[in-house]
A = this chain, B = another copy of it.
Amino acid sequence: MIDSPHGKGKGLALVLAGEAGQGVQVVEALLSEAFRGLGYYVFSGQEFMSRIRGGSNSTLIRVSPRPVRAWSDRTDLCILFDNKAITRLQQRLQPETFVLGDNLQAPEGSRFIDIPLAEMAQEAGGSLYVNTIAAGVLWGIYNGREETLADVIRRFFSGKKPATIDGNLAAAGIGLKLGRKLSHSGKVSLALPPPGDNRGNLHLNGTEAVSLGAIAGGCNFVSAYPMSPSTGVLTFLARHGRDFGIIVEQAEDEISAANMVLGAWYGGARGMTTTSGGGFDLMTEAVSLSGMTETPMVVHLAQRPGPATGLPTRTEQGDFNLALYGGHGEYPRVLLAPGNLEQAYALTAESFRLADAFQVPVILLTDQYLLDSHYDVVDLPLPRAIPPLAVVETSRQYARYALNESGISPRGVPGWGEGLVGADSDEHDAKGHITEDLDLRVRMVDKRLRKLVLLAEKAFSAEWIGPEQASNVLVCWGSTLEIAREAVAGLAREDVAVLHFRQVFPLPEGARERLQKAECRILLEGNATGQFGAFLGQRWGIDWHHRLLKYNGLMFSVEEVRAGLDKALPERVRK
């Protein structure tokens, strides 16, 4: 169980804000590594504008002796690379937040503290050192050992020219000195309890978890068209493609990408594409084709705020309905929505297994928040081996769509065995040839839809977090899991539980009764209309007493959820 590190000296929340291109990510990487090296847990997450240079972005780093894995609005210290940022950060600065920046012209004694970033950067050799200087300042305020930071810098820049490494070491030193001075003078003080046991854990983000999951699922073909926030998965797999025998192709458009994935599965590969809402729109006809031809397909749908181009670098859970209903006609599909990095890894791997076993499209719903957030994970379990592809060696009589009870006809691969493998977009007979036999049509529709029965039986259960008998339930899906968990844990009430869905279609039936019996059902969704809530309500015959919805492009913070719960929950026994 994770609890809130805030306000009780349990942890530290740092915010780095600056323009795109100022290297905020370098500070994020250096500090994460440094604190983790000491045994602290680190969460970091980003919110940024759709531009390559300029604008105003920020990164949150939470450091704690205990596991920490959720977005928060609480800021202990904020460092501004660029003063414009301050207006955008307003809502995340508390009275007790220290704000450091260059030429803030802070009144004496205030928590706004001028630091000569630009001047120090000149001293270090140029404005591009400003990020390492900032890392030094923060490390100095924390009173970290210089050698620790130096080690981290050496690792981070390893492979670069010696001059680069030396320059950064010097820059860090300059920052560190200032940081120490601020700390010793008492101007800035940060309380951080002794480190925890975060030794040797993995530290990664959602993009990496999904990508590793794809490899663990046996993915060996990726075709995609770049689109934020889904592109990272493409570049990850491209980087490691040759090592793992993965064919990676940038398609001319999403239509091509999706159809290539179908061709790849048909030809015996395990294919995947990665996209966001607008790209998915263009893929829906191919998803429908996957349904009709019973060709497996894995689509990573990384959500961002729509409609249309919307806010391309931000986050939302607005494409549930699209994923569920996009693509014409009626056929089974599976929608998975990982709640954390472990699930992102595991469910991505499972996507390939499910698509293969059930010959259906599997859509993996993530979002910018999940993909760009880093935190610590004890382990990502290795598959013993990738099970062989669920295909058969065909005989001369082979019929691709042979009717049977489960609806799952054995799948062949062209060239393996004596049979011929047909796949048809029209309604078809057992061999895949066009038919206008309308009774056969009905049997084929039923066959395809029958797969839903088995799929529902195998659905990944929803997780009930909290007391079995809790009468108040916060229901969420996908990337809000850890936020909800931390928010509810912080309430310290025994009558509240979280119910999190990592599979959103077909629904896992497990928690149905408990949820129906709950006295107060609260929906938590990162969209404006409560899409999943409406769907769940219809299927399980329940309604919502409260809905916490957010759609400004940012993820919920732990504090927001807690505030929402405070309003929504009936007054009751406190622990």
A interface residue numbers (CB < 8 A to B): 49-50, 55, 255, 276-278, 280-282, 284-285, 288-289, 291-293, 305-312, 314, 316, 318-319, 321-322, 324-331, 425-427, 434, 436, 438-439, 441-442, 445-446, 449, 527-529, 531, 534-535, 537-538, 541, 543, 551-554
- Could you say which residues of chain B place their CB within 8 Å of the CB of A538? 534-535, 537-538
Asked if B528 and A438 sit within 8 Å, CB to CB, the answer is: no
Asked if B325 and A553 sit within 8 Å, CB to CB, the answer is: no
Cα distance A470–B553 in the bound complex, in angstroms? 49
Asked if A307 and B325 sit within 8 Å, CB to CB, the answer is: no
Asked if A325 and B322 sit within 8 Å, CB to CB, the answer is: yes
Cα distance A442–B305 in the bound complex, in angstroms? 11
Which of B305, B325, B329, B427 is close to A324, meaning CB atoms less than 8 Å apart?
B325
Cα distance A325–B551 in the bound complex, in angstroms? 18
| Nearest B residue (CB) for A531 | B330
Cα distance A310–B327 in the bound complex, in angstroms? 13
* Residue among A292, A436, A449, A535 with max Cβ neighbours from chain B (10 Å): A436
In the complex with contacts A55-B436, A330-B529, A291-B308 CB distance below 8 A: yes
Cα distance A291–B318 in the bound complex, in angstroms? 14
Can you tell how many copies of this chain the complex includes? Answer: 2
Cα distance A449–B530 in the bound complex, in angstroms? 13
| Nearest B residue (CB) for A285 | B281
Cα distance A189–B332 in the bound complex, in angstroms? 51
Asked if A288 and B281 sit within 8 Å, CB to CB, the answer is: yes
- Could you say which residues of chain B place their CB within 8 Å of the CB of A329? 277, 305-308, 310, 316, 318-319
Asked if A441 and B308 sit within 8 Å, CB to CB, the answer is: no
- Could you say which residues of chain B place their CB within 8 Å of the CB of A280? 328
Cα distance A326–B329 in the bound complex, in angstroms? 12
Asked if B50 and A436 sit within 8 Å, CB to CB, the answer is: yes
| Nearest B residue (CB) for A277 | B328
Cα distance A29–B34 in the bound complex, in angstroms? 84
Asked if A427 and B310 sit within 8 Å, CB to CB, the answer is: yes
- Could you say which residues of chain B place their CB within 8 Å of the CB of A288? 277-278, 281, 306-308
Which of B307, B438, B553 is close to A327, meaning CB atoms less than 8 Å apart?
B307
Which of B50, B328, B527, B541 is close to A307, meaning CB atoms less than 8 Å apart?
B328
In the complex with contacts A284-B284, A538-B538, A425-B308 CB distance below 8 A: yes
Cα distance A255–B282 in the bound complex, in angstroms? 9
Which of B307, B439, B554 is close to A291, meaning CB atoms less than 8 Å apart?
B307
Cα distance A534–B554 in the bound complex, in angstroms? 32
- Could you say which residues of chain B place their CB within 8 Å of the CB of A551? 330, 441-442, 445
- Could you say which residues of chain B place their CB within 8 Å of the CB of A543? 541
Min distance, Cβ A438 to any Cβ of chain B, angstroms: 4
- Could you say which residues of chain B place their CB within 8 Å of the CB of A527? 330
* Residue among A309, A331, A439 with max Cβ neighbours from chain B (10 Å): A309
- Could you say which residues of chain B place their CB within 8 Å of the CB of A293? 308
Query: Can you list 16 residue pairs at the A/B interface with Cβ under 8 Å?
Result: A49-B436, A276-B328, A285-B308, A288-B308, A289-B308, A292-B308, A305-B329, A306-B329, A310-B427, A311-B438, A322-B326, A322-B328, A330-B528, A436-B553, A441-B553, A535-B538
Cα distance A83–B324 in the bound complex, in angstroms? 45
Asked if B312 and A289 sit within 8 Å, CB to CB, the answer is: no
- Could you say which residues of chain B place their CB within 8 Å of the CB of A529? 330, 449
- Could you say which residues of chain B place their CB within 8 Å of the CB of A426? 50, 308-312
Cα distance A363–B308 in the bound complex, in angstroms? 18
Which of B311, B322, B325, B445 is close to A427, meaning CB atoms less than 8 Å apart?
B311
- Could you say which residues of chain B place their CB within 8 Å of the CB of A531? 330
In the complex with contacts A325-B324, A529-B330, A552-B306 CB distance below 8 A: no
- Could you say which residues of chain B place their CB within 8 Å of the CB of A49? 436
Cα distance A318–B330 in the bound complex, in angstroms? 7
Cα distance A55–B439 in the bound complex, in angstroms? 17
In the complex with contacts A282-B282, A426-B310, A445-B322 CB distance below 8 A: no
- Could you say which residues of chain B place their CB within 8 Å of the CB of A277? 288, 328-329
Asked if A305 and B441 sit within 8 Å, CB to CB, the answer is: yes
Cα distance A434–B313 in the bound complex, in angstroms? 13
- Could you say which residues of chain B place their CB within 8 Å of the CB of A307? 288-289, 291-292, 327-331
- Could you say which residues of chain B place their CB within 8 Å of the CB of A321? 324-325
- Could you say which residues of chain B place their CB within 8 Å of the CB of A331? 306-307
Cα distance A149–B438 in the bound complex, in angstroms? 36
- What are the nearest 10 A-B pairs in CB distance? A306-B329, A277-B328, A307-B329, A538-B538, A292-B308, A325-B325, A281-B285, A321-B325, A308-B425, A309-B425
Asked if B449 and A528 sit within 8 Å, CB to CB, the answer is: yes
Min distance, Cβ A458 to any Cβ of chain B, angstroms: 20
- Could you say which residues of chain B place their CB within 8 Å of the CB of A289? 307-308
